[in-house]
Chain A
Amino acid sequence: MIELDIRWKTRDFDLQVAFESRARHVALFGPSGSGKTSVLLAIAGLRRPDAGRICLADELLYDSARGIQIAPARRGLGVVFQDGRLFPHLRVRDNLLYGQRSNPGAHAAIGFDTAVGLLGLTDLLARWPATLSGGEARRVAIGRALLSQPRALLLDEPLVGLHREAREQVLHYLRRLRDEIGLPTLLVSHQPDEVHALAQEVVLLDDGRVAAQQPIGEFRG
């Protein structure tokens, strides 16, 4: 599902990550500062590596040797950011529909009602993002990414900063999503239980390098 080989060097960080996975649900696991989020942003096209190649779900997104760099808006990836990033001036319903309106002609594989039902958002549609709890906001962010009809979901620490109850709840919805919709997923996390709950294969990162790659059965985070 994913082939990745990127290099990215700044004054205080040196990242060289290469891995390949056939699994549908992959996790990037490692301590903070290991470069997980940088890799996710590079896949999303929001951070440009110095060089390398990224191929996801059979589509070439980036290849420095061939001068290929697909614009983020055209990658068709649903990104769920660590900090949610809901649009504060739009109600939940319009946040959810934002991605759908970008490609109105596209065949809607995931219907609005389906996504709203799956993520339990029915009662939140008329609310402003500022009035949502942490867990609710995270679920809306997931729904918004899902409704942009992505080819794959990129989840950047989707449970970070939530208290235990909200965490359980969002994890439950993410598991449901995986089982019922089954979109290819790349999860970035430093929490072993999330990885165990959502991924089939784990790529362990440490200090900008791949330390190991394991099927979930062997993973002891």
Chain B
Amino acid sequence: MLSAAESTALAISLKVALLSIVVALPFALALGLALSRLRFPGKSVLEALLNLPLVLPPVVTGYALLIVFGRNGVIGAWLSTLGIQFAFHWSGAVVAAVIMSFPLLVISIRAGFDGVDRRLEAAAESLGAGPWRRFFSITLPLSRRSVLAGCVLAFARAFGEFGATISFVGSIPGETRTLSIAIWELLNQPGGEAGLGRLVWVALLVGIAASLFAALLGRRSQANGAAHD
């Protein structure tokens, strides 16, 4: 079984990954909808910016977060006057996870919205549905498969995040030491092989569970699709 420190690391990783999705999802839905439905100046710039965390080395992203949200950072200094501090705090790991998984979430959600037949939204509009109701009763249900797939991808990405997290919030046991960081610590520690083996198994199990969940989602919506289409 896992030691106390090991299960704490697992708990931190789960907490950070799940919370990052809860935080990111409303923004990702709004941005996905804007990218799918609207044309506005600067759209390609926004898309390029959005994908930045995918193409940058994660350590660089973490360093950028430190510059922006660190105690003396542009936004961090202002936040600390409000008593909010992200750097070297577990909530900072959530910020890092949100930034790192956000592109995956938005790409998936946007593809889902792109796939919704606009004529159905027009039909809903002619039946008196305003924009909110159209979104929640037509657009979102018809793209739920992509939204859920995006969430699973984002969860996996956030759960495994290492580079941005360690540069931004470090490796504080019980605070910011996530499963990935704990594995890295054990790698550098003589005699850490037993713990290392256990944590790697845990990481594998979570990854396999996420993959299975995604596959099951795909199968269920395929079955539903067969009944619908």
Residues of A within 8 A of B (CB): 44-46, 71-79, 81, 83, 85, 87-89, 98-99, 102-103, 128-131, 144-145, 148
Contacts of A98 in B (CB 8 A): 124, 127, 129, 137
Contacts A79-B123, A81-B119, A98-B124 hold; do A89 and B130 have CB atoms under 8 A apart? no
**Is B141 positioned at the interface, with any CB of A under 8 Å from its CB?**
yes
Closest to A106 in B: B128
Q: Are A102 and B133 closer than 8 Å at their CB atoms? A: yes
**Is B47 positioned at the interface, with any CB of A under 8 Å from its CB?**
no
Q: Are B142 and A76 closer than 8 Å at their CB atoms? A: no
Q: Are A148 and B127 closer than 8 Å at their CB atoms? A: yes
Q: Jot down 23 A-B pairs with beta carbons below 8 A, ordered by A.
A: A72-B125, A73-B126, A73-B128, A73-B130, A74-B128, A76-B128, A78-B126, A79-B126, A83-B119, A85-B119, A85-B122, A85-B123, A87-B120, A87-B138, A88-B142, A89-B141, A99-B127, A102-B129, A102-B130, A103-B128, A130-B227, A131-B227, A148-B127
Residues of B within 8 A of A (CB): 119-120, 122-130, 133, 137-138, 141-142, 224, 227-229
| Nearest CB in chain B: distance from A35 CB, A | 19
Q: Are A73 and B129 closer than 8 Å at their CB atoms? A: yes
**Which of B123, B130, B229: most chain A CB closer than 10 A?**
B123
Alpha-carbon gap, A47 to B137, bound state (A)? 22
Q: Out of B127, B128, B137, B229, which one reaches A130, CB within 8 Å? A: B229
Alpha-carbon gap, A143 to B164, bound state (A)? 56
Q: Are B229 and A88 closer than 8 Å at their CB atoms? A: yes
Alpha-carbon gap, A46 to B124, bound state (A)? 11
Alpha-carbon gap, A145 to B128, bound state (A)? 10
Q: Are B128 and A128 closer than 8 Å at their CB atoms? A: no
| Nearest CB in chain A: distance from B228 CB, A | 4
Given contacts A88-B142, A148-B128, 5 further A-B contacts (CB under 8 A): A75-B126, A98-B127, A102-B130, A103-B128, A128-B227
Q: Are B142 and A46 closer than 8 Å at their CB atoms? A: no
Contacts of B126 in A (CB 8 A): 44-46, 72-73, 75, 77-79, 145, 148
Contacts A85-B119, A102-B133, A128-B227 hold; do A46 and B128 have CB atoms under 8 A apart? no
